[in-house]
Structure 1
Amino acid sequence: MTFDALLFLSFGGPEGPEDVRPFLENVTRGRGVPPERLDEVAEHYHHFGGVSPINRLNREIMAGLRDQLRAESRDLPVYWGNRNWYPMIEETVARMAEDGVRRALVFPTSAWGGYSGCKQYHEDIARAREAVGERAPELVKLRQFFDHPLFVAANADAVRRACAQVGDPRARLVFTAHSVPVRADELPGPDGRPEWYSRQVAECARLVAEEAGVEAYDVVWQSRSGPPQVPWLEPDVVDHVERLHAEGVGSVVVSPIGFVSDHLEVVWDLDNEAAEKAAELGMGFARAGTAGDDPRFAKMIVELVSEHVDEVRPRKLSLLPAAGCSTNGEACAPGCCSRTA
């Protein structure tokens, strides 16, 4: 099939102190997050000068992606749009229309199903096309990639390096991903079974641990942001570090497989809060890197493109479906990635 461009679609992040509060209001709009929680999270950003690393990291990933596309003789310009901060997807799709793009693939920086990781990106695509109107290009979202062999291999190598860094052969490996409301995770996936998002995370953790040669590991959660009365996936990573210490574990290696780059939630929740808790308890601690800065990540994106352009068979390491491919922001498979109240 013929495509004119590739849209790199991400979450977005503030690039100065004045951006922080408007950005957080965009992120939490309609979710009932109390103002004091926004104030608390804003302090995390201000701790780093009001700048999230995510936009810089996305620019670096896109530079590698453009290099990989050229290396494989693919003439696809790469555009960049965000959900919550500039460059906003609506502006980017308008520019694509002005440039004459009629049909483009969309790569979202999320490996997962679920509302925030998949369905909301479909909504972003539909909203942007509606804003642009009849001139809007057709947009085809690429699939979820939690079990792609290149994503697994990049994370596994990062785990190996972190294990070597901590220097304790009995260190416990702990995988983390962004927590979501329990009610959202209880919805059925495209295979009709519930816990679609957490099952994908658990499967990715299994694949990465197996590739890294690690038998014992845990899957925990981080970065919850909803109202306190709403149950979210647990345990929290900091609470889990305390539990491991109580069980006599001397060192911990944390792998943030739920994230593709070292943006602020990774840096704050793991490099600050979890690391500080481990130090307070006298535990060894190392944090594995994320897959985004590994050259194989850009190569994986080009492989996902090839599935559409050249009708190449998808490379997957699990039997779980990799839903999410649709056009123009249309819904995923029935029952997949629905939103809950």
Structure 2
Amino acid sequence: MPKNIVFILILLIFSSCLTQANSQTHYAFADFISEAPKNTKEIIAWESKITKEGDTITSKSESWQYDINTNLIYWEKPSQYCYIIKKYNEKNRVTYLEKGCGESSDNGSIYVSYPKENTISEKHAMSGYAEFIKIKNSYNQKRKLMRKEIYDSLYDQNFNPSNKKYEIYHYVTVYKYDENNNLIEENTFDLPKLTTAQTISYTYNRYNQITEKQIDTKRNDESFDISIIKYSYYGYLHRGEIKPKLFIVNTTTISDYSTESYIEEYIYPRKNIIEVEQTQINTYINKTVKETYQLIYKDNRLIRKKYFSTSQKKKDRKITSWIDYQYIFY
């Protein structure tokens, strides 16, 4: 998939759930699994693994650091030699992002500025690319995002000869909402080519929860990759709750040569515990991978993630490893 399409796809996925102030969180995968509690200074993940000999090995596997406004300012995963640094202005908007991860071609820094209202400019100094990106957002009276224009001037230092002109990528995304202000459609147009680059559509239930999200992305050969995400929900409510809890998320990606399905099932056996079973199916390599773990909470904070062996019978599964989360507050 070409780099510009990947960029648009990543941006669109996160733009619907991020505020304008944080719309430049390109590496959102590095954010903590849930919002950090107020006054959190640092979260440290300590991973413990059980060896074949029955010994337990514990090491620091990941960490997140936050400023006084609970903005993520530093993340690292030492085992993968990965880190991210973020800086913010007085309005809590990202002004600088630095990423390093092994020998990845997108290592480097991004400088972000806000020259006008609803306008964002980025200068990228990545190891593989030099680029300038300008983003302009338009909102309606209800502050719903109606239009996003992205202008990307990209020069590939690795593969293009030095005398080649800069490539220009120019996209506009238009957003549509229903009478309940639910986002129902995103259409991204490639302005130089005057064609549709991507379409995302949403379906909701009576609780205004998403039940299906379909992403159609155009490839270089003019065909489309289709990604379908289906959401199912519990039919019962806990006391004091209005909406059913999330039960199943099924993500399916369809291409010319393969169908990949990623299913997450959530079960709530008792208070403060969520059991998750993940199943990944790939028809191209004819392989199915399963993973089972528990998320354990205390005072609305994730304190442990416990992994199990994937035995067919629940009573036969064994603990293989776990992660304890340590919280340090201001």
TM-score by length of 2: 0.26
> What is the TM-score normalised by the length of structure 1?
0.25
Report the structure number with the largest CA radius of gyration.
2
Tell me which protein shows more helix as a share of its residues.
1
Q: Which protein has greater RCO, CA pairs closer than 8 Å, 6+ apart?
A: 1
